[in-house]
Amino acid sequence: MAKTAMIPVDNGLLAGLREFLRQVLARPEIAAVLVPCQLPMKAMVMPTLVSDPEQLSAANPLAPVFPLNGARVVTRLTRKEAGRTVVAVLRACEIRAFIELVKLKQGRREELIIVGIDCLGAYATKDFLPLADQGIEELTGRFLQSAMGEKEGELDGIGLAPACQACVNPVPDGADLIIGLLGADTGRALPVTAATEKGESLLENLDLPGGKAPEGREAAVAALVERRMARRKAMIDATRALTDSLEKLTAYLGACVNCYNCRVACPVCYCRECVFVTDVFDHEPCQYLGWAHRKGAVKMPTDTVFYHLTRLAHMGTACVGCGQCSNACPNGIPLAELFITASAPLQEAFDYHPGRSLDEKPPLAEFREKEFEEVVGIK
């Protein structure tokens, strides 16, 4: 039976979580806490590596925005031995992406304790900025009220990012410590449950009252997942209808300018150097002329659909549905919808759940001698 303690939040959720993180940071074995913090100079929240407990008063892991997927930031902190342990507060999709990167040896699970909080979703970054004009804390409060109530996060007519609306994995299962918002009495205390031994030994050393997950938690999780499932299905159906031929896909990606921001933002686009920016694609000028002659006309820059299909083939099985590709696109292409939709059959083909477990190898990194015989032959 997993060990659970309670984080008192009678002074507000943020105050309670900050106090919890202060206690964590006070432990001698913990060098720093990585947590989204409100930047003093602008209305944005960014992952921030905090070693001074004072600075935790800017921590806001509940702000409904994440301008980047923190998985890659955590790989920077863990790719080599540092000699000290860091605690990282991450969203569920950030944890899944990080687990994928650990499988590829780009980060390490050692010297890291992950704290996950039930994820209620976030707004697209561009929607967050105007919503936060009264300050991030004010918005966080309004958001939580909306997200835990009927409105599911909708504020001033603005809904959560499409990827978040369709996310069916809001519980941060891969974390060492899981803080439960769903089903909790958010006026009094939040349950924090140790999911691993590492989490348990940290929890034991904190001065928190014991407790147990609230009765209503399972039902609250199930209800949220069910609503999200329905949205996900609707999103996939709609996106499929928009992209089910090459011509439609080309139109869908029509505004793409090959800036490749989407793969920079994608936490699981794992190559250090993307082939599309290597000299493989520094074509000879006469090559372009050749294409133009053969086809009558060729759009420049070339290879736009090729780029997106290649990305799907390379990382589609690992797509964690975080939505950062959509956030990153300067031209507002609904990329997360496309990648979530197109990746679903790839993940199904290998019965693969990205980020679920370190024991599950990426599908293209292994094989069995007897499998998939149906794809062989010309019948």
Interface positions with ligand SF4 (CB under 6 A): 163, 256-262, 265-268, 319-325, 328-331, 333, 335-336, 339
306 binds other proteins (CB under 8 A): yes
User: Quick one: 1 or 370, whose CB is closer to other proteins?
Assistant: 370
CB 10 within 8 A of CB 191: no
**Of residues 211-240, which lie at the interface with other proteins (CB under 8 A)?**
240
CB 347 within 8 A of CB 91: no
One residue of 250, 261, 264, 281 binding other proteins per CB under 8 A: 250
DSSP for 225-242?
HHHHHHHHHHHHHHHHHH
Which range in 33-41, 60-68, 165-173, 310-318 contacts other proteins by CB under 8 A?
310-318
Q: What is the distance between the alpha carbons of residues 366 and 344, in angstroms, rounded to a whole number?
A: 20
Q: What is the distance between the alpha carbons of residues 10 and 333, in angstroms, rounded to a whole number?
A: 42
- Residue that the structure tokens 């520094």 belong to: 282
Give least dist CB 234 to other proteins, A: 17
Q: Taking each helix axis as running N to C, give the angle between helix 13-26 and helix 136-148, from 0 to 180 degrees, rounded to the nearest 10.
A: 110
Residue 265 binds which of ligand SF4, other proteins, none (CB < 5-8 A, kind-dependent): ligand SF4
Give least dist CB 235 to ligand SF4, A: 12
Residues 186-205 vs other proteins: string with x where CB under 8 A? --------------------
One residue of 317, 324, 326, 327 binding other proteins per CB under 8 A: 317
Residue 339 binds which of other proteins, ligand SF4, none (CB < 5-8 A, kind-dependent): ligand SF4
User: Quick one: 183 or 267, whose CB is closer to ligand SF4?
Assistant: 267
User: Quick one: 140 or 343, whose CB is closer to other proteins?
Assistant: 343
Residue 372 binds which of ligand SF4, other proteins, none (CB < 5-8 A, kind-dependent): other proteins
Give least dist CB 262 to ligand SF4, A: 3
CB 355 within 8 A of CB 95: yes
Q: What is the distance between the alpha carbons of residues 60 and 89, in angstroms, rounded to a whole number?
A: 10
Q: What is the distance between the alpha carbons of residues 54 and 22, in angstroms, rounded to a whole number?
A: 8
Q: Which residue(s) pair with 85 in the sheet? A: 30
How buried is residue 37: exposed, middle or buried, by Cβ count under 10 Å (0-12/13-18/19+)? buried
The dihedrals phi and psi of 50, each to the nearest 5 degrees, come to: -110, 130
DSSP 8-state assignment for residue 90: E
346 binds other proteins (CB under 8 A): yes
Binding site for other proteins (CB under 8 A): 240, 243-250, 253-254, 275, 295, 297, 299, 304-306, 309-310, 312-314, 316-317, 341-342, 345-346, 348-350, 363-364, 367-369, 371-372, 375-378
